Structure 1
């Protein structure tokens, strides 16, 4: 029996019938929300003969394929022996201007539902109804047509005939892909110690439809050990699509390298890396409409040809390939990449495409649950990213500027903005001496005020030309929409607070605990695989990442020879904030001894730029034959690449790079062999004490009594472990790690050391350090 190909009615109609330009001309997102409410109200008022939200599905034996077409009709009316299939559409247009062919996709959609219902119920003919509702006036217009089942069948089969080229492509591709997967063996000659265990754990987790938390030291090969078993499970029909989720571009490139390696071993897999819109756009300014962008103009007339072209010629579809084919076919590269994702077996993308309520991929996650597998790389980063994705802020200054812009034109909007500005002023008066105010009530009052302001902004934006003033109101509009969306998620895991910043006042909906919302994201698929070198302590990460007692836990020990890594703690230095000035000279002495013991490249990590600059300034006074680099707080991709390229194998002179703990160079970089001889980590990585961290601490103190650990200690130690993980990357590597802070020898921090770090040596002077390193090297 052939494998079943699934497609929704909506996707089928849109994919085959779409045409013309991409048009992101402002129409107003809140109208969509209002449209949903109108939609539900119409359904509720239709009476007892109206069945709302009726699921429909029909399986076609079409040519040599089995195609499952499914969807949900807004309503089915059965009255006096007559059947009417109803499709509700909201609009801001004058209803008199709307006729049957106003939007051919609307009529096509309801005709497909009608055929499926008529076929299932042996009807010879039935009526279709388009119910248009103006969201502003609430007026309704019905367009009713009657079709025979034969006419509806001809229409749907004409769509399927046009879609068949895609079915044929996917059918042939699946056969090729699955046979290549069955023949695929692990891409290295042998597994590293712990790799097979890791791969087996991932495969069994997918088999059992569970989630897993994997902690495996740097250098084990987590990327290939999670991708390989997932691909194998795909070949067995256990996985429909796999998502490799990352926090940083550098980790996505590692996943791409893993796929390239397996492609060289005979794997056929369509792999797509999604690049953010602003990074992949061909234009200097991203304006997506046909009048101002030649790639948006006629995009839908050409995009299907572009998709087929890239799929027939490329398996690994990265940013370069997307741009190459987008240029060839003159289509928008970002929208093109999203369409290609429908046909990809593996999608490599940022966390937000699965979790962020503002941008997640609705084309995959707004329908019923599928066999999607989420491989979550560097999962420790998802804690703070989760808080960011589920939080939102508004600034008083933005409303004040908006008020000034609309003073002359747009009196209604001016009044709304003035009211919100006054609300912010009242908040400012209530802030404490440190400039903060925790709001006890939920955000409904301000959210309601913002919602009505958004409606007025939409009216203003529709009649205004693009200008700097227009851009400000547009940005404020989207900030307000984000705030409204997050307010709808509000529960006991959130807090609302305001803070003064000079003359500005910021109102924040702050997610204290992202666990529930992250869990809901994972439940959009079948299995979540959370993996990192630093999920310590594992119970903390399971708690804040939405794990539960049904999830699996696997810890893989280090596969490397412990004699090749020396971990030393300088136990006589305090790097606490109040001791930093007096610690500088001691730190410099330790650095000099550490890098003087062997010619090589070294990284030194500081808890802040200020502390780093203090030490660096004094360190430069020493006339040493060494090269010095320092991290800049604003480095672009090219500058970061140039920085890393300075780490050469077998350098002629010693080089030391001054960097910041938790920054771009403390995780995700791979400096193998003699490119890195050692790392010095100064301080225990505690996040800076601040209001936000303190309210997280108070929240977890109330819920589990571990507030300080959850808010400060565990996130800080995670940075330390990540930085230390830069040193040993392969079995051949040899290196030393120096931890400078007397807190590392306390029970609290010793408990957080991974097993491979527990064989450490404590020193109390640079002279002791020198002896140990001379012996080690």
Structure 2
């Protein structure tokens, strides 16, 4: 896309240039969006002669040094004799007598459509009609006006002139940005092993608009190796925006740091990091309305000045910077950050903002695709996260409780709640003696009952903001809406199941195979790079993350000296669930054998909290002189920081941290140098046996015969590889990893070992560990 070319929808043009007033997210009913298409079709097919529905518009205009491409879709064009009317349909919950003729946004959108249609059809006069549909009464009100071509031309160009002030600002920035990119050199003296190969592959993938899957072990420098070529591609107009997508805060920080490094080398590049609304909100409760929040009141009157201020003063829109300018201009920091995403060159954010059908960034992805590049960090995490994003669940208890609440207050709402509750009861009966019921198809009757409940509850919610049961009903309302939205995606890759949960019942639409929906989501951009230190076996990840045989893939070797890692495997201890009770003391002895050879900091990873706690208890009894830390199921941010801060450099006393595989300390943690000398990994990391895993196993057994691998083995070994990757984090690091489990001798697991693990040594007893480690550390 040329730097002077601007593609914008009429709706976005109007909303951006004419927005004003407050943020007001108080409940006004959103389910009508689900019915909006049906309502439009009902009006469009009402029998008016000469009514043409859903008329697309594309208008190319060279104006003041820009090539504008304005796009839109007219709800209806009515041709009556010599008159042409542009019809804009709006739904409303207000009584029609309260609808006046002055709604600037509604008229503006229709008048812009009218101008373009009049120009393209050489009309001197044109009518504009607003058609309001009252969703409860189903009454319709028409408001029609006649405009000359001069009147609507003046109006249209007034909007365009206002918008082009912003366009000129961004074009001037893009010229500076692209000039800086052309002269930008790789921000390190030399490439590490594999780094140049990765950077070239990323650039090629972006240029060709394809997908790339990358297994790149720790130390290669994945973040800079993907960001640098992506930035270069922006400078050469091969992509327009980078979305750096992550699962964890710490990886977002690494991306921010990489951009800062490139800025030190002369790069001019604007980046925004999106923070969850609950975290960034200035108020105790995120109630976005002018009565409860001074930042919401008048937000749109002040936000444009705030954007210009931060845009001309800063390059990195990280959380504290966004908050500083939001407070300065007294605006909502979350909505401010979403606006800044439109003007930033790169957006750093969670996977959800690009892929989750319930919360993705609609301003980018709802109606069209863009020349976007998705850089998907720690892509191994996207498997479970995507299943979560494409699934939805409901519990029975809220329906029962609210049914009682509304029995006398709102009988019709109570009846709708009762109907859903009764369906849960009937399904529970079908479970019989089993604790669950698996269905191969969706339940249309339940979905219909839920839609009826949404409509009934919406009427009550719009009129009873402070009533008893309001908060509970509002929460359930949005849960049901999300459930219905996911239900619309249901196909052969889904299954539904009912599961008894103590005294409650859970009903879930479960996405077994997210590959199709992820593949469709990726199409919202131009190219996608999936990368991780543990993207093996790569064929599995290509399959499950929506790839295909034509996608590029790279498996890179470790950048570190192989002999810096002493990798030991003990085949003598079984950590299977039935054998665990007999392993506690043996594991404690093995831990001590490893740590006693070179005092310092170590981590021990277990497949479950119970297993970890039992061994920790025994270990403390056997070796009370050793200081230990224990991960708990729920840890505050301060407790996590205290845990990690205990791992200090140059400590000559023993410290052992007990943690769980797949937990917060087994991924994304950088304990470089002497902060971590080794890790002991107990077990092969298999996820706990559960209904969902077994359903996934059955599905992939039918699909490709690899059900056990897809459901248990591959996710488990990924946890092992991630935990082992905590030890060697730099070229100077040396350390030990001990794997404890009989199954590590099985070819099913050994074939999943990365290439830099080929030098492992087998140990069968404490004496063997002592001898090898004495030699390893003695070489220091």
Normalised to the residue count of structure 1, the TM-score between the two structures is 0.98
Alignment match, 1:430: 430
Alignment match, 1:630: 630
Instruction: Encode CA deviations 1:66-124: one digit per residue, 9 max, x unaligned.
Output: 333222222222332322222111112222322321x2101000111111122222222
Question: How far apart, CA to CA, are the structure 2 residues paired with 1:516 and 1:118?
Answer: 42
Instruction: Encode CA deviations 1:247-288: one digit per residue, 9 max, x unaligned.
Output: 111111111111111111111111000000101111111111
Alignment match, 1:19: 20
Question: How far apart, CA to CA, are the structure 2 residues paired with 1:119 and 1:717?
Answer: 63
Alignment match, 2:181: 181
Question: How far apart, CA to CA, are the structure 2 residues paired with 1:591 and 1:201?
Answer: 42
> Helix, strand or coil: the match of 2:621?
coil
Q: How far does residue 353 in structure 1 lie from its aligned partner after superposition?
A: 0.6
Alignment match, 1:59: 60
Alignment match, 1:125: 125
Q: How far does residue 432 in structure 1 lie from its aligned partner after superposition?
A: 4.0
Q: Tell me if structure 2 keeps the 8 A contact 1:2–1:66.
A: no
> Helix, strand or coil: the match of 2:462?
helix
Question: How far apart, CA to CA, are the structure 2 residues paired with 1:27 and 1:738?
Answer: 58
Question: How far apart, CA to CA, are the structure 2 residues paired with 1:414 and 1:2?
Answer: 58
Question: How far apart, CA to CA, are the structure 2 residues paired with 1:653 and 1:468?
Answer: 59
Alignment match, 2:76: 75
Alignment match, 1:199: 199
> Helix, strand or coil: the match of 2:762?
strand
Instruction: Encode CA deviations 1:627-657: one digit per residue, 9 max, x unaligned.
Output: 2111121112232122212111111322111
Alignment match, 2:100: 99
Compared with structure 1, are the counterparts of its residues 684 and 2 closer, same or farther at alpha carbon in structure 2 (3 Å cutoff)?
closer
Alignment match, 2:590: 590
Alignment match, 1:759: 759
Question: How far apart, CA to CA, are the structure 2 residues paired with 1:587 and 1:2?
Answer: 63
Question: How far apart, CA to CA, are the structure 2 residues paired with 1:318 and 1:119?
Answer: 44
> Helix, strand or coil: the match of 1:621?
helix
Q: How far does residue 45 in structure 1 lie from its aligned partner after superposition?
A: 3.6
Instruction: Encode CA deviations 1:109-160: one digit per residue, 9 max, x unaligned.
Output: 0111111122222222211111111122222222211111111111011112
Alignment match, 2:772: 772
Alignment match, 1:551: 551
Question: How far apart, CA to CA, are the structure 2 residues paired with 1:638 and 1:317?
Answer: 25
Q: Tell me if structure 1 keeps the 8 A contact 2:4–2:65.
A: no
Q: Tell me if structure 1 keeps the 8 A contact 2:3–2:174.
A: no
Question: How far apart, CA to CA, are the structure 1 residues paired with 2:512 and 2:775?
Answer: 48
Q: Tell me if structure 2 keeps the 8 A contact 1:180–1:268.
A: yes
Instruction: Encode CA deviations 1:502-549: one digit per residue, 9 max, x unaligned.
Output: 221111111111111111110111111110111111111111111111
Q: How far does residue 367 in structure 1 lie from its aligned partner after superposition?
A: 2.4
Question: How far apart, CA to CA, are the structure 2 residues paired with 1:258 and 1:467?
Answer: 50
Question: How far apart, CA to CA, are the structure 1 residues paired with 2:105 and 2:79?
Answer: 24
Q: How far does residue 468 in structure 1 lie from its aligned partner after superposition?
A: 6.2
Q: How far does residue 445 in structure 1 lie from its aligned partner after superposition?
A: 1.3
Compared with structure 1, are the counterparts of its residues 440 and 560 closer, same or farther at alpha carbon in structure 2 (3 Å cutoff)?
closer
Q: How far does residue 20 in structure 1 lie from its aligned partner after superposition?
A: 1.2
Paired residues, what number?
776
Worse-superposed segment, 435-444 or 581-590: 435-444
Alignment match, 1:327: 327
> Helix, strand or coil: the match of 1:729?
coil
Q: Tell me if structure 2 keeps the 8 A contact 1:246–1:378.
A: yes
Q: Tell me if structure 2 keeps the 8 A contact 1:625–1:653.
A: no
Question: How far apart, CA to CA, are the structure 1 residues paired with 2:372 and 2:651?
Answer: 46
> Helix, strand or coil: the match of 2:39?
helix
Instruction: Encode CA deviations 1:365-402: one digit per residue, 9 max, x unaligned.
Output: 11222101111111111110011111111111110111
The CA RMSD over aligned residues, in Å, is: 1.4
> Helix, strand or coil: the match of 1:384?
helix
> Helix, strand or coil: the match of 1:61?
strand
Alignment match, 1:563: 563
> Helix, strand or coil: the match of 2:583?
helix
Question: How far apart, CA to CA, are the structure 1 residues paired with 2:177 and 2:49?
Answer: 50
Question: How far apart, CA to CA, are the structure 2 residues paired with 1:10 and 1:495?
Answer: 38
Normalised to the residue count of structure 2, the TM-score between the two structures is 0.98
Question: How far apart, CA to CA, are the structure 2 residues paired with 1:214 and 1:164?
Answer: 41
> Helix, strand or coil: the match of 1:628?
strand
Q: Tell me if structure 2 keeps the 8 A contact 1:110–1:128.
A: yes
Instruction: Encode CA deviations 1:327-382: one digit per residue, 9 max, x unaligned.
Output: 11111111111111110110011111111111001100112221011111111111
Structure 2 residues not aligned, in runs of 5+? none
Compared with structure 1, are the counterparts of its residues 432 and 264 closer, same or farther at alpha carbon in structure 2 (3 Å cutoff)?
farther
Q: Tell me if structure 2 keeps the 8 A contact 1:35–1:135.
A: no
Structure 1 residues not aligned, in runs of 5+? none
Question: How far apart, CA to CA, are the structure 1 residues paired with 2:740 and 2:369?
Answer: 49
Question: How far apart, CA to CA, are the structure 1 residues paired with 2:94 and 2:187?
Answer: 58
